[in-house]
Amino acid sequence: MPIKILLIDDDKNYFMLVRRMLSRDASQFQIDWASDYEMAKTIALNSPYDVFLVDLQLGNRNGLDLVRELLASGIQSPFIMLTGYTEDELELPILETGASDYINKSELKSASLRRTIRYAMQRTQDLKALKASEENYRSLLEDASDGILITDPEAKIILINSSVSEMIGEPQEAIVGKALTDFIVPANKAHVPLNPATMPTDAPVLVEHLLRTANGNIPVEISAKLVSGGRLQCFIRDISKRKEEEEERERYIQQLTLLQQVDIELNHMLNIDYVLSLALDAAVRLSAANAGFIATIDNGSLKLAQAIGRYGDLLPGDSLPENALIDQVLQDQQPRIFLDLANEPNYHAIIPDTSALMLIPLVSYERVLGILNLETRKVNRFTPEVLDFLKLIASRVAVAIENAQLYQIAQEQLARLQELYLQVSDLEKLKTDMIRIAAHDLRNPVGVIVGYLELLEWSLGDKISEKQKSQLEAMMRAAQRMEKITRDILSLERIEKLHLEKTQRLTLNPLLLEVFDDYRTQAAEKNQTYTLEISETALTVQADSAQMREAMANMVNNAIKYTPEDGSVTVKLRDESGMAIFEVVDTGFGIPEDQQVGLFQPFYRASSEETVNIEGTGLGLHLVKNIITRHDGKMIFESVYGSGSTFGFKLPLL
């Protein structure tokens, strides 16, 4: 494609000359001619040309005016001015007009003309490309959602994109030219302001600063970097939303932590005053309230328990004055938030200037225990989210109050029980002491009575009547029973005083054989089946022989005593997992279940129809249990009323 040229010159000869100069390369250049201003305009605006050669002098018109006009109409091809002067001072006005070059007509040569034309075209193309790429960058700059700002080496703002002016809320002109520090300052006074003079040259830095805007400061994140010429290039991002979210999250974590602390404290604190003051403190802090109180229901009326803030003359323990809002909340058992108390005709302020109120009932197992009341002067401080958190606290407080109240009741009952126990123990001790003293003092006189009765019976012989004889025998039995009681009491005393230093390695088998034999006659008198099942291996324990004999004898004796005629009594000794097991199994009367509880208490006697006439002291089993416990053993006991009992013990084998 040849280069299309329009020559604008009122001198036809000149056109001919130029055409000739270019005609050597006719295939490369195609030249047209316009002889005056208006004609040139018409042609140029209607058909495209690659280059315009314009004479500076167009009759009485100026070639530069034409260039201006054509450029303004959107023509982008290069204009080369043809001048008739040699003065250099024309160069500047020509180039300022927008023309790309000029040729001195008097120095016109074919080769230089062609070169000038090519250069002009090339430059125009370069300019076009540059403009296009500049436009690309500019639109990138403008479209960027981040703010972009460039300063000169003195930290004066020389360029910003529209995001920056939107963020700041002022037009570009009001920002460009000002100092960077007029708009960007460190969030923290301890930090240094951004400054190209102090920036590291190698890497960009990322900082969080504040951007001063028409609506106050906003937090921004800035990636700043030194670029060529010592200028500072900043990418600015508005992080107020992120900060808000971070703060929100932080607040949430703080609330949770507080809640957790309250939980831990409330769970193990049973002092009600402490629980309430802790809970109120947490609630006031969580809600950022100005004042608050907890009132609890005591004997049906609401009394102030804890308060933060000035509630007039009201002191803890005082009844709260009538309050319709609180009554309503307690009745509904539903928390409520009153965001504008001016609209609440039923509200009577105790604390002046309160503008919002939260009332949360303290409910445990559907029982209303009190109320948490929080107030603030700041209208928008209380939110449903805060209320939700307080509900969590309130539910814990209610449970803690309940626990503390139960604990208080339990404490009071315990104290009463302890008092009773002391009274009973004193009485019990008095009783045992008296019995012991009596036993000591009775032993000799009873011995004397028994002795003389025996003597009397023997010396009177057949000289008395049958009736007198049976009376004497009854006296004898009574005296013997008294003797047994004193003996049992004294041996109990002996055992209680006894330390187990006297224990020895004791093989139970031979001892039991002796005990078993001792009671053979007694069992035979009642025609009982009396059996011994004894282990063949020697069962050795650490024990006091006399006491072991007493324990085993007592249980064998009881079995025979509390088993009717023709019944059976089986005495057993065996080993089982490292223990010696002794058992006396009878088919006797057994003990009613409701009487089994106190069986091992001193002087305790179970009584049923069948056993009411059997004599005893109620000391035997107490004695046995004492012995076995002192030997680190365990009692065995089982009884079914009407079918029989098993008494025995387990002792660790050596």
Number of alpha helices (DSSP H) and beta strands (DSSP E) in the chain: 16, 25
Task: Please report how close the Cβ of residue 425 comes to ligand ADP at its closest, in angstroms.
Answer: 21
**Quick one: DSSP state of residue 261?**
H
- Tokens describing residue 393: 């606290």
Tokens 């700002």 identify what position?
A: 149
Pairing of strands 336-338, 356-364: antiparallel
Read off the amino acid at residue 363.
Answer: V
Task: Please report how close the Cβ of residue 300 comes to ligand ADP at its closest, in angstroms.
Answer: 52
Residue with smaller CB distance to ligand ADP, 53 or 627: 627
Pairing of strands 367-376, 184-186: unpaired
Residue with smaller CB distance to ligand ADP, 561 or 650: 561
Residue with smaller CB distance to ligand ADP, 489 or 621: 621
Task: Please report how close the Cβ of residue 403 comes to ligand ADP at its closest, in angstroms.
Answer: 44
The Cα–Cα gap between 264 and 560 comes to: 62
Residue with smaller CB distance to ligand ADP, 347 or 604: 604
Task: Please report how close the Cβ of residue 532 comes to ligand ADP at its closest, in angstroms.
Answer: 17
Task: Please report how close the Cβ of residue 601 comes to ligand ADP at its closest, in angstroms.
Answer: 9
Residue whose C-alpha is closest to residue 621's, from 641, 642, 643, 636: 636
Residue with smaller CB distance to ligand ADP, 78 or 620: 620
Residue with smaller CB distance to ligand ADP, 73 or 607: 607
Binding site for ligand ADP (CB under 6 A): 558-559, 562, 586, 588-591, 599, 604-606, 611, 616-622, 645, 647
**Helical axes 466-497 vs 384-460, angle rounded to 10°:** 140
Task: Please report how close the Cβ of residue 559 comes to ligand ADP at its closest, in angstroms.
Answer: 4
Q: Where are the alpha helices (DSSP H) in 344-465?
A: 384-460
CB 436 within 8 A of CB 493: yes
Residue with smaller CB distance to ligand ADP, 561 or 631: 561
**Helical axes 240-268 vs 384-460, angle rounded to 10°:** 10
Other C-beta atoms within 10 Å of 109: how many?
Answer: 11
Task: Tell me the HSE value of 576 on the side-chain side, using a 13 A CA sphere.
Answer: 9
Pairing of strands 205-213, 184-186: antiparallel
- Tokens describing residue 63: 């070639």
Give the start-end residues of each E strand in 130-173: 147-151, 157-160
CB 5 within 8 A of CB 30: yes
DSSP annotation string for 60-75: TEEHHHHHHHHHHTT-
The Cα–Cα gap between 598 and 618 comes to: 10
Task: Please report how close the Cβ of residue 605 comes to ligand ADP at its closest, in angstroms.
Answer: 3
Task: Please report how close the Cβ of residue 637 comes to ligand ADP at its closest, in angstroms.
Answer: 9
- Tokens describing residue 624: 């046995």
Supply angle C-alpha 415, 421, 426, rounded to 5.
Answer: 130
Tokens 């605006």 identify what position?
A: 45
Residue with smaller CB distance to ligand ADP, 63 or 588: 588
Residue with smaller CB distance to ligand ADP, 355 or 558: 558
CB 394 within 8 A of CB 373: no
Task: Please report how close the Cβ of residue 591 comes to ligand ADP at its closest, in angstroms.
Answer: 5
Residue whose C-alpha is closest to residue 446's, from 490, 400, 411: 490
> What are the two backbone dihedrals, phi and then psi, of residue 397, each rounded to the nearest 5 degrees?
-60, -40
Look at the chain and count its residues: 654
The Cα–Cα gap between 641 and 608 comes to: 9
Residue with smaller CB distance to ligand ADP, 381 or 622: 622
Residue with smaller CB distance to ligand ADP, 224 or 621: 621
Task: Please report how close the Cβ of residue 546 comes to ligand ADP at its closest, in angstroms.
Answer: 18
Supply angle C-alpha 440, 446, 450, rounded to 5.
Answer: 150
Residue with smaller CB distance to ligand ADP, 116 or 617: 617
Task: Please report how close the Cβ of residue 635 comes to ligand ADP at its closest, in angstroms.
Answer: 12
Task: Please report how close the Cβ of residue 624 comes to ligand ADP at its closest, in angstroms.
Answer: 8
- Tokens describing residue 47: 């058909």
Task: Please report how close the Cβ of residue 534 comes to ligand ADP at its closest, in angstroms.
Answer: 19
> What are the two backbone dihedrals, phi and then psi, of residue 478, each rounded to the nearest 5 degrees?
-60, -45
Task: Please report how close the Cβ of residue 478 comes to ligand ADP at its closest, in angstroms.
Answer: 16
- Tokens describing residue 176: 């460009």
Residue with smaller CB distance to ligand ADP, 98 or 618: 618
CB 281 within 8 A of CB 294: no
Task: Please report how close the Cβ of residue 642 comes to ligand ADP at its closest, in angstroms.
Answer: 11
By the 10 Å C-beta count (0-12 exposed, 13-18 middle, 19+ buried), 289 is classed as: buried
Residue with smaller CB distance to ligand ADP, 338 or 516: 516
Residue with smaller CB distance to ligand ADP, 55 or 488: 488
- Tokens describing residue 318: 């005082």
Task: Please report how close the Cβ of residue 638 comes to ligand ADP at its closest, in angstroms.
Answer: 10
CB 167 within 8 A of CB 175: no
Residue with smaller CB distance to ligand ADP, 25 or 525: 525
Other C-beta atoms within 10 Å of 371: how many?
Answer: 26
